[in-house]
Amino acid sequence: MSPAIRTAEIADLEPLKALVESAYRGESARAGWSHEADLLGGERITRDDLSAMLAAPDQRVLVAEREGALIGCVAVHGPAQPGGPAYIGMLAVAPGVQAGGLGRHLLSAAEQCARDRFNARTAEMTVISVREPLIAYYQRRGYAVTGERRPFPNPAITHLEMVVLARAI
């Protein structure tokens, strides 16, 4: 049975940050398959950035909880302009529960949020280009590589770039 998914609140800030960091960076992330720990160090997201996401009217962060602990999350950003794609990102599942279907469940909830809350008909995401197993995971979920590439969000990191994936939702 999949855990319930709900919209994150400001009270979730610290456990949510801890979840994201544990899934993407550092030694704890290496327990899962979808980490960036071999590519990047440092913080994945700051408290200020996460707080801004939680407060923004055009964004939602969805969380999955089991026995009072956050075990997964995903962010949905409404379209920048009417008819544009919603952006899905920050899909994170606690390393100890990865490969059990929670990521697929969260992705589906994010797509539903994009449709219902933001009236989006398409969704896009970006993935670091060298993360081929993760790109393949999203392709199995119906996302297609668009051919568009974007610079890595941190301009100080020039050796990585982002691949854009999209699908109709």
Domains and CATH numbers, the chain: 5-119 (3.40.630.30)
- Token pair for 15: 């456990």
Residue 111: the pLDDT is 98
Residue 44: the pLDDT is 81
Q: What SS3 string covers 19-70? A: HHHHHHCHHHHCCCCCCCCCCCCCCCCCHHHHHHHHHCCCEEEEEEEECCEE
pTM of the model as a whole:
0.91
Residue 19: the pLDDT is 95
- Round to whole Å and give the CA distance between 161 and 130: 8
Residue 99: the pLDDT is 83
* Cβ count near 42 (within 10 Å): 8
Instruction: For the chain, 169 residues long, give each residue's pLDDT as a single digit of tens.
Output: 678 899 999 999 999 999 999 888 766 655 555 656 566 567 789 999 999 999 999 999 999 999 999 999 999 999 999 889 999 999 999 988 888 899 999 999 999 999 999 999 999 999 999 999 999 999 999 999 999 999 999 888 899 999 999 999 9
Residue 27: the pLDDT is 65
β strands within 67-143, DSSP E: 69-77, 86-93, 122-128
Longest dimension (CA), the chain: 42
- Round to whole Å and give the CA distance between 166 and 169: 9
What is the 8-class DSSP label of residue 105? Answer: H
